[in-house]
Amino acid sequence: MNVVVLVKYVPDPQGTPELDDAFLVVREGTEGALDPGDEYAVEAGLRLVETHGGEVTLLTMGPETASAALRKGLSMGAHAGVHVVDPALRGSDALATARVLAAAVRRRPFDLVLAGVESTDGSTGTVPMTVAQLLELPSATFARALSVEDGVLRIERPTDLGFDVVEAPLPALATVTGSAPEPRYPTLKGIMQAKQKPVERLALADLGLSAEALAPTQRVVGLTRAQERAAGEVIQAGEDTAKRIVDLLAEAKVL
Amino acid sequence: MPPVFVYAEVTPEGPRPVALELLTKARSLGDPVAAVALGPGATAAAETLGAYGASTVFANDDPVFSETLGHAAALSLAGLVEEHRPGLVLFSTSHDARDVAGRLQALTGSTLMSNATDLSATDRAQMPIFGGAVTVEVALEGPDPKIVLVRPTSFAAEPSGGTATVEPVPVPQGSPWPRRVERHEEAATGPRLEEARVVVSGGRGLQEASNFALLEELAGLLKGAVGASRAVVDAGWVPYSYQIGQTGRTVKPEVYIAVGISGATQHVVGMKGAKRIVAINKDPDAPIFRLADLGVVGDALTVVPQVIAEIRSRRG
Ligand SMILES: Cc1cc2nc3c(=O)[nH]c(=O)nc-3n(C[C@H](O)[C@H](O)[C@H](O)COP(=O)(O)OP(=O)(O)OC[C@H]3O[C@@H](n4cnc5c(N)ncnc54)[C@H](O)[C@@H]3O)c2cc1C
Ligand SMILES: Nc1ncnc2c1ncn2[C@@H]1O[C@H](COP(=O)(O)O)[C@@H](O)[C@H]1O
């Protein structure tokens, strides 16, 4: 079975992102990485092909530096990468991103598309569903467990009071949460092998898309810094800690 | 003003509170305001939806809407959009709403903004970024309707005293659907997180899943609810429904007690609206102390039992 995983390159998840003059997140020249959330989708894809055979192809849209995200996933064990890179894509919004990803997925046969639930930097949390609708695929979202049997995808989806089991016939799309099995670490061998694995580069023209059709539809027109909540008192735990906390509860009339 | 649609999530027990919040806001953005309620409980919810500002409720109780993860709902909604041409469709940021909104965007080809906390017009919305340190004002362009997903509890729900006419919605033809084939639920105990006056929340600093029992006990004494950081939800200590933060719930209780939680920006956006914040953490440099009214540097497993004992002794 052939699995395509949508992986995003994000600025250092630990660092503080910066905005440029046009209020776009600075992606060039910053340390970045494969979105930690997407590693769960890569892991889920690898497990499925380990059980059923086939290949995992990673697909990313992003600047030159985004190839680092592909390299990480390839060193985890994915088989090939596709990198959509085009200057016209800078500042793409959710719809443009989904259109590009859908067009790139369509280029070859696949059984399953996997994605993270939301990106660390954009956190729109809807791009995969838009891709699914553009490809007219059923989608099973927010999976913490996935399996495939007889051409049917089966997932567990957490809910307010427990979880649901959802099934979708393949080909399908699923999004994978951080409650799914932990992503593996790349081995040294994996890192070495990653360098030999094929990565296809595509520009907009290769996808039959025009820059005009993908023009951004959102503009940041203003920015306000939030008022910091004033810090209160910090005390060392000691004799009267419990008394202090319970006094506060009494003051708040919740006791 | 252009018509505004609210995608109103409903259950057989009634509309979700966020539906009423969105209707309240929609009244100041457009006219008329219509709610789209799909799935079991839709028709019964119409009266309440009307009382909060919907003049029309497009409704269908068919379970196909709740069992197909937004597929059927998105197709029906696209049909209604085509016919009534709203300038804006409002959603919550819940998982169920995201399924519908993402698909609707593909069908309408219009812009979509998520994580909004306010709107000043049908094409102007605000969104906090960088964990709430900065709020950006975004102009939404391109074809109508604008699609905006709003974080729950961004607005207070206020009744308008109106009434709604119910308009039936046809079940769409489409396939292949995904299907919910099993439902596993446990009965909820205590108040809902969003409604609780006290939220006692735990993070990785609790060391082990079993230590959540301490928080359950404390919350029980205060008639409060228990929440959690994503780290412990992902670790499987507590269900996802406990998660507070950017990708979980937003709570605004009278008192929020953060136990063994570092205070990552993604957690903080979900709780910084609390009236009072108490933090217990053994690291004096934990970011959570920067917003706590009372910060205690200490071991959670020592301090929480002391607090429980103190409450018990005051109550005699
Ligand atoms: C896109 C995205 C979305 C996210 N959404 C959310 C979200 O919705 N909600 C959320 O919570 N997080 C979210 N996160 C994760 C977030 O960044 C943090 O990783 C998470 O909140 C950390 O959880 P924690 O505080 O429990 O764990 P840690 O950061 O590991 O903190 C544990 C704390 O416990 C303290 N501690 C240890 N032992 C003790 C002890 N004995 N007594 C007292 N204190 C002790 C430590 O000093 C430390 O401060 C998101 C991340 C991303 C990238
Ligand atoms: N530029 C991109 N390239 C590849 N995948 C992406 C991209 N943007 C979003 N995705 C996928 O969509 C998921 C949700 O992202 P978002 O909707 O932006 O929060 C991510 O976890 C990725 O799997």
- pLDDT for res B189: 73
Which of A97-101, B48-52, B133-137, B146-150 is predicted least confidently?
Answer: B133-137
Domain around A121: 2-214
Q: What is the pLDDT of residues B263-293, one digit of tens each?
A: 998 899 889 889 999 999 999 999 999 999 9
Q: Could B197 and A172 be called an inter-chain contact, meaning their C-beta atoms sit closer than 8 Å?
A: no
Question: pLDDT tens digits for B66-117?
Answer: 999 999 999 999 999 999 999 999 999 999 999 999 999 999 999 999 999 9
Give, for ligand 2, the residue of A8, A85, A99, A202 to mutate: max count of ligand atoms closer than 8 Å to Cβ: A8
Q: What is the pLDDT of residue B279?
A: 97
Question: Is B147's C-beta closer than 6 angstroms to any atom of ligand 1?
Answer: no
Which chain B residues are Cβ-neighbours of A128 within 8 angstroms? 102
Q: Is B248 in the pocket of ligand 1 (CB under 6 A)?
A: yes
Chain-wide mean pLDDT for chain B?
94
B294 contacts A232? CB cut-off 8 A: yes
Q: Which residues contact A71 (CB under 8 A, 6 or more apart)?
A: A81, A194
Question: Mean pLDDT of successive 10-residue segments in chain A (255 residues)?
Answer: 96 66 64 89 98 98 94 97 95 94 97 94 90 97 97 94 94 95 94 96 96 91 81 90 96 93
The average pLDDT across B224-234 equals 95
Query: Is the preceding peptide bond at B176 cis, omega within 30 degrees of 0?
Result: yes
Flag whether A20 is in a domain: yes
User: Structural domain boundaries of chain B?
Assistant: 4-168, 193-314
CATH of the domain at A66: 3.40.50.620
Strand partners, B137: A222, B126
pTM summary value:
0.90
pLDDT at position B6 over 90: yes
Ligand nearest to the CA of B149: 2
CATH among 3.30.70.270, 3.40.50.800, 3.40.50.620, 3.30.70.920 for B4-168: 3.40.50.620
DSSP per-residue letters across chain A: --EEEE--EEE-TTS---B-TTS-B--TTS-EEE-HHHHHHHHHHHHHHHHH---EEEEEES-GGGHHHHHHHHHHT--EEEEE--GGGTT--HHHHHHHHHHHHTTS--SEEEEESS-TTT----HHHHHHHHTT--EEEEESEEEEETTEEEEEEEETTEEEEEEEESSEEEEE-TTSPPPPPPPHHHHHHHTTS-EEEE-GGGGT--TGGG---EEEEEEEEPPPPPP-EEEE--TTHHHHHHHHHHHTT--
* ipTM (interface predicted TM): 0.89
- Mean pLDDT for the stretch of residues B222-233: 95
What was the pLDDT predicted at A25?
A: 66
Per the structure, the count of domains in chain A is 1
Question: What's residue A14's pLDDT?
Answer: 60
**CATH superfamily assigned to domain B193-314:** TPP-binding domain (3.40.50.1220)
